[in-house]
Amino acid sequence: MAMRDWIWDGGRASVDLVNTLRDRKIGCRELLDDTDALAEWLRLAKLTEHGDVTAEHLVAIRELREVVDRVLRGELADADIAALNTWAARHHQPPPQVRLTPRRELTAHVLTPEDPVASALGAVAVDAIELLLEARPPTIRICAAETCGLRFVDRSPARNRQWCSMARCGNRAKARQHYARRKIT
């Protein structure tokens, strides 16, 4: 299983999920292309390391991703809100339990949900809902680079961040601007 081109610049798990469909401005490139990719993304996003990822989970997360994208960009359709709430209800995080070892020491034990993958997808929906309901709603932006299309939470003081990442798109744009200015003079 090869590591994919995951990017974690969205600022939240729900936005990072949206960014698994890359290059939206120039035709789209799917990173969640099989169940192994979904299992890897869930593990790297620290949502779950347990559970068998199925083809149904893959279809579901792609649908959830597009619901989250539309809702976070302000397209508030009743069907999308209902879908988001349905997924959020699937997030079941059992409380930790205390166990006593044979040496009479306390240890914590966390139970795994019945369907840990569905619960992880529910956690993404919960994250999107929390993001929507923040006291000062964050601005969800789309990278200003011509070919990028990554989404990110703009938490800059002036709410004017343009690039998904300065290390990626921002530096390239600034280098092009600098080159263009030098070429003119």
In a domain, 2, yes or no: no
One-character DSSP codes across 115-170: SHHHHHHHHHHHHHHHHHT-SSPPEEEE--SSS---EEEE--TTS----S-IIIII
Alpha-carbon distances of 115 from 45, 68, 130, rounded to whole Å: 17, 21, 22
* Domain annotation covers residue 105: yes
Q: Return the pLDDT at 1.
A: 44
**3 domain-assigned:** no
- Looking at residue 131, which CATH number applies to its domain? 1.10.3300.10
Q: Read off the pLDDT of residues 172-185 as tens digits, 9 standing for 90 and up.
A: 666 666 566 667 65
pTM of this structure: 0.82
Label residue 155 by pLDDT band (50, 70, 90).
confident
pLDDT digits (tens, 9 = 90+) for 56-96: 999 999 999 999 999 999 899 999 999 999 999 988 776 67
Our count of domains for the chain comes to 1
What is the pLDDT at residue 125?
96
Range of the domain at 51: 13-184
